[in-house]
Structure 1
Amino acid sequence: MTRTSPPTGPAAGPRRLKASRTAARRLAASWRLGAGAAAAALLAAVCPATAVAAPDAAPVPRLTWEEKCADGFECATARVPLDYHDPHGAGIDLSVIRHPADDQAHRIGSLFYNPGGPAAPGLVALPKMLGQFPEDVRKRFDIVSFDPRGTGASAPVQCFDNPADEQALLAGTAAGYPEGADQQKAWADAYQRLARQCAARNPALLPHISTANVARDMDLLRRAVGDRRLTYLGTSYGSYLGATYANLFPGRVRAMVLDSAPDPVAWSTGHGGQAATTGALLRNGSDVAAGRVLDAFLDQCAQVGPPACAFSAGTAAATRARYGELLQRLRTRPVAVDGMTFPAGSALEATIPSLYATNTVPGLPDTGWSRLGTTLQALWAATEAPATPTTPLPPVFHQPPDQALAVACSDSANPPARADYRALAAFARARSGEAGPYFAWADERCADWPARDRDRYDGPWNRPTARPILVVANTGDPAMPYEGSRAMARSLARAELLTVGGYGHTVLANPSGCAARHEARYLIDGVLPTPGTVCAPTQPPFSG
């Protein structure tokens, strides 16, 4: 059966550790903000911005929906221009997915959803996260997502014939981040070679992967589903995509929820001359956010104790000390668990994305802070030495970063390769603890990226939109600090900030019934919460 949308119109040991690795894999598939891919997905590089033709000049895709994808979903393909300067020239195909409104008789229109990343595939994320959307929103909207250009099934960036070849290139890099001159040189050399390989394999595609071009694609898709204005929910990096759309097409905003946002100036160009000396993640304060929430996890782990948190050492001070001792032990003596080698960097890569969901997320059953406690305790108790000290981590913790880098390196300014990344890592460690260097060296991955998108968007961020925008954020977000969401709300011309006093990355993945009610009322009726509203999470950490 097919449907066609009108092109225009209105409208506690190895077994537990293995389960934790499965959780990380599922998180990475849904948000693309986990482990090595998490940091890589948030990188940036220097590139100029120029004017570009509006999508109105491009043909509107005709979407033929087919019920052959995930159960209850429909999928289609949309043809969009590769280069919006040449809207009738070469095109690329985007893979699109939707879940029809449960109450078709009272359907309002389509709600577009981007799960973040960048480079998170919507075709994977939407089926996993659909149940997190407020019930009234699922009733009244077709929920639509897509794999952004260059990712997933939408003209993907492919730098190698075989993913194993990319893994072989990165196998010589340290897990998590490099320590010492030899590891740091190997890191920089490997990502320089990766950049060159990607440029050689994708010469036509890489210069057109910016967030601004994804926003232009989304405007064509809005027209393709027949909506006069855009209704949108974006989480994490998806909030930056939403802000970009709102400033490129301010008159076309119907309602927009930006969940867990960066400071748009810090993310894109930095304030003043920051871009020449400080990478995008450090400008955004992602290291500070991760360090704060890691400390909160260890403190609460101690408070709840076993069995809720297996890594508890009885007191907050003792549990923090145990984590530091674990990393120090793994630096000098990696362990093997389930045939895998775990140096300190691997433990850190396991820790950071596991902070994102405080409790089990439906559809992602092995998530939550309790699971992280089990993972860390398994590493603490492990005694087996690895067969070889160089056994690389599998992609679950050290994911190929090419698609995420293709977007991020086109969007934000990063210091060049000649910058002193060792000093940046030391600075990050001083202010953020063990998590700091992880983010500083993640920024370095874009230092040699060769492609620049001339059509990226750098602001201004305060163009008045047709309707006001709702920004929502957890105060204890470990990836996008709460301060970034406050800066986003201040930067936008018409926006209100809804605060949730809880932990975890994105309110969608860490539910608050209070926030969900406000979001539903805003998306359906356009009613914003009262300024200064603060909600509580539905469940505290370690409770589900």
Structure 2
Amino acid sequence: MDSRRLLRTSATALAAAGLILSGCTGGSDAAASRSTPAGPTAAGPAATPVAAALKKYYGQKLTWRDCGVTDFQCATLLAPLDYAKPEAGDVKLAVSRVRATGPGKRLGSLLVNPGGPGGSAVGYLQGYAGIGYPAPVRARYDMVAVDPRGVARSEPVDCLTGPQMDAYTQVDQTPDDAAEVNALSAAFKEFAAGCEKKSGAILPHVSTVETARDMDVLRAVLGDEKLTYVGASYGTFLGATYAELFPARVGRLVLDGAMDPSLPAVDLNRDQTAGFETAFRAFAADCVRKPDCPLGTGSVAAAGQALKTFFRDVDAEPVPTGESRELGESLATTGVIAAMYDEGAWPQLREALTRAIGGDGSNLLALADSYYEREADGTYANLMFANAAVNCLDLPPAYAAPADAGKAVPSFEKASPVFGAGLAWAALNCTYWPTPPTGRPHRITADGAAPILVVGTTRDPATPYQWARSLADQLSSGTLLTYEGDGHTAYGRGSDCIDTAINTYLLEGTPPQDGKRCS
């Protein structure tokens, strides 16, 4: 499990487990098959002119069709495979929208992205945002999503078969000796080689920078002079990258559950490890107050030790699950981490741990499967494949060799006594990536951009709160909004204070006072 892959909204991470959201019903749309022309100037009035080689992309028209999901329309957007060589060919990107419901004057398009990298924005729109965002926002905006290149419906990266992924997710990620280190390294190498074999053509072209440029093409084709956008989790890095590339085209940007673009990969992984420790301690504090807590009714520290003991036990002797896959330490850890995204999942985690400690790992395996987006038939969505492809292209690898991972373990265990060792070794995945990185850690200032709203949650497991503070500080026009609470991201998670502040910004363009705090 690559810890940097844990960057998506809690709604996306847990919907498959039935914990939060359900999908839409099918149906037809009488407004389907309309075309959307490009705006009066494809790049917007304040932007630099579009390069001649890109004009065909900025000037294209989208032909909307029925998605088979009530009220939603779908279309295909063309973008260059390589922006440096547009003549090299196109990528086809899946787009979906639901029209503004009214009343009130339409404000344009609101693009949404749930994170990942590798999360399907189209799936997020159709399964949640397009029906679950606050009604006043949906009334005034056409809600729009595009699956990033390499993701889901947009020429998805492919790497391993279902049985190969089953084996990959069970590899021991807390190696105890040289043989286990070699086995883990071999698994990462096999994963990388599979991606190169199956998706070698697109693999060098799924960076966040390229996806941000695709977003600008979509903005223009939709007829919007500036981009209005809500990005969650990894989607905040995508939004910040857009602002860096096109500051004059920034409209109203909400970056919820922010990443810090200035950090190298090893620091991102270590910080996130500490974030999961913070979330676990909040879960443990709640658990030990309950008589049925499977980790005991003592202290938070004792609960952490009990969980470590459980992990050690299933590492030595995996627990049956009622199917061919047993629950070993890697899958057990993934299942626990999946439930850290939202406090609403804590009761399910308590039950899953109780059953697993008692010898039935099926519930904890179900949490892990929902996290990996594994279907009941043994197939996997491409989340893991796209996640690695984007992460390994965006930043140089955390380690040059396995020995470096071993040396990092103590610092990771300091960040999280419970999860540290496993997440330290998980960061080895990009070491063997076949495509060299094109990005680097750096501060993003986006000088000249309109006010950008950065949202952070104080006990966020996947995007630690200090990342939001850092990004808001880096952005020349950044405004920080803080949610004092648990879970990953803040918008639409029950805080009227947060939702009102964000809705006001989206509808009126007025950000909250910098430093505003909500609970």
Q: TM-score of the superposition, structure 1-length normalised?
A: 0.79
Deviates more, 1:119-128 or 1:221-230: 119-128
CA contact (8 A) 2:243 2:449 kept: no
Superposed CA deviations along residues 53-86 of structure 1, whole A, max 9, x for unmatched, are 7995452232111122322211111111101112
Aligned position for 1:300 = 286
SS at match of 1:92: strand
Q: What is the aligned partner in structure 1 of residue 26 from structure 2?
A: none
User: Paired residue for 1:238, among 212, 235, 238?
Assistant: 235
**Residues 325-344 of structure 1: matches in 2 within 5 Å?**
325-339=309-323, 340-344=325-329
Identify the residue that residue 378 of structure 1 maps to in structure 2.
Answer: 355
2:188 to 183, 186, 191: 191
The CA distance in 2 between the partners of 1:505 and 1:188, in whole Å, is 30
Q: Taking structure 1 as reference, are residues 156 and 245 closer, same or farther at Cα in structure 2, changes over 3 Å only?
A: same
Q: Distance in 2 between matches of 1:523 and 1:55?
A: 34
Q: C-alpha distance in 1, partners of 2:328/2:338? A: 17
**One-letter amino acid matched to 1:434:** V
Kept in 2, the 8 Å contact 1:257–1:472? The answer is: yes
SS at match of 1:336: coil
- 1:483 alignment counterpart: 466
Which residue identity lines up with residue 38 of structure 2 in the other structure? P
- 1:54 to 1:429, Cα distance in 2 relative to 1, 3 A: farther
Aligned to 1:446, the other structure's residue is in SS state: helix
Change (3 A) 1:397 1:8: closer
161, 164, 188: which is aligned to 2:162? 164
Mapped partners of 1:181, 1:393: distance in 2 = 30
Tell me how far apart the structure 2 counterparts of residues 227 and 436 of structure 1 sit (CA, whole Å): 45
Q: 1:457 to 1:221 in 2, by over 3 A?
A: farther
Q: Aligned to 1:529, which of 512, 515, 518?
A: 512
Distance 1:342 1:203, change over 3 A: closer
Distance 1:442 1:95 in 2: 31
Amino acid at match of 1:193: E
CA distances 1:144-192 after superposition (whole Å, capped 9, x unpaired): 11110011110111235xx235326626722x55443322211111211
Q: Does 1:432 align with 2:432?
A: no
Q: CA deviation at 1:403?
A: 1.7
Distance 1:104 1:3 in 2: 22
Which residue is 1:364 aligned to? none
Post-superposition Cα deviations, 1:282-331, rounded to whole Å, max 9, x if no partner, equal 2xx0000101110111111223x15xx75363333454443233223323
Which one of 317, 322, 337 corresponds to residue 352 of structure 1? 337
Distance 2:433 2:482 in 1: 36
Aligned 1:178-327 pairs, distance under 5 A? 178-266=175-263, 270=264, 278=266, 280-282=268-270, 285-303=271-289, 305=290, 310-311=293-294, 313-317=296-300, 318-327=302-311
Letter in 2 for 1:372: L
Flag the 1:54–1:85 CA change in 2: closer, same or farther, 3 A: farther
CA contact (8 A) 1:279 1:413 kept: no
Residue 94 of structure 1: aligned partner: 93
Are positions 1:69 and 2:68 aligned together? Answer: yes
Give the direction of change, closer, same or farther, for the CA distance of 1:423–1:509 in structure 2 (3 Å limit): farther
Structure-2 separation of matches of 1:312 and 1:169:
29
The AA in structure 1 aligned to 2:330 is: G
Alignment partner, residue 416 of structure 1: 400
Retained in 2: the 8 A contact 1:99–1:142? Answer: yes
Q: Give the partner amino acid of 1:72.
A: D
Query: Which residue identity does 1:516 align to in structure 2?
Result: D
CA distance in structure 1 between the aligned counterparts of 2:52 and 2:212, rounded to whole angstroms:
11
Partners of 1:294 and 1:75 lie apart in 2 by 40
RMSD in angstroms over aligned alpha carbons?
Answer: 2.7
The verdict on how the C-alpha distance between 1:181 and 1:154 changes in structure 2, with shifts beyond 3 A counting, is same
Q: Distance in 1 between matches of 2:198 and 2:483?
A: 44
Q: Would the alpha carbon gap of residues 431 and 72 (structure 1) be closer, same or farther in structure 2, given more than 3 Å must change?
A: same
Partner AA of 2:357 in structure 1: W
List runs of 5+ in structure 1 lacking aligned partners. 12-51, 360-367, 386-390, 537-544
Q: CA offset at residue 201 of structure 1?
A: 2.9
The residue number in structure 1 matching 2:489 is 506
Displacement of 1:508 in angstroms is 3.1
Shift of 1:125: 1.5
Greater mean alpha carbon deviation, residues 315-324 or residues 445-454: 315-324
Amino acid at match of 2:210: N
Q: Percent identity?
A: 32
Query: 2:38 maps to what in 1?
Result: 7
Matched length: 465
SS in 1 for 2:343: coil
Correspondence for 1:451: 435
Alignment of 1:25-40 (within 5 A): none
* Distance in 2 separating the partners of 1:491 and 1:65: 39
